Amino acid sequence: MGTLALFQGDRAIVRFPGALAYAMPARLFKAMSILPGSHFAMVITRDGAKVVDIKVEPHSEARPVVQGRSQPKVYVRDGDKFSTRR
pLDDT over 70 (residue 53): yes
Say if 74 falls within a structural domain: no
Between 72 and 56, where is the model more confident?
56
Say if 33 falls within a structural domain: yes
Say if 86 falls within a structural domain: no
- Per-residue pLDDT averaged across 4-33, rounded? 90
Query: How many Cβ atoms are within 10 Å of 15's Cβ, its own excluded?
Result: 13
pLDDT over 80 (residue 76): no
What is the C-alpha separation between 38 and 56, in angstroms, rounded? Answer: 12
Say if 49 falls within a structural domain: yes
Residue 6 confidence (pLDDT)? 93
What is the C-alpha separation between 65 and 21, in angstroms, rounded? Answer: 34
- The boundaries of the domain holding residue 43 are 2-58
In the chain, how many domains are there?
1
What is the C-alpha separation between 25 and 58, in angstroms, rounded? Answer: 16
Say if 63 falls within a structural domain: no
Residue 85 confidence (pLDDT)? 58
Say if 77 falls within a structural domain: no
Residue 26 confidence (pLDDT)? 92
- Per-residue pLDDT averaged across 15-19, rounded? 85
Query: What three-state secondary structure class fits 53?
Result: strand
Residue 69 confidence (pLDDT)? 65
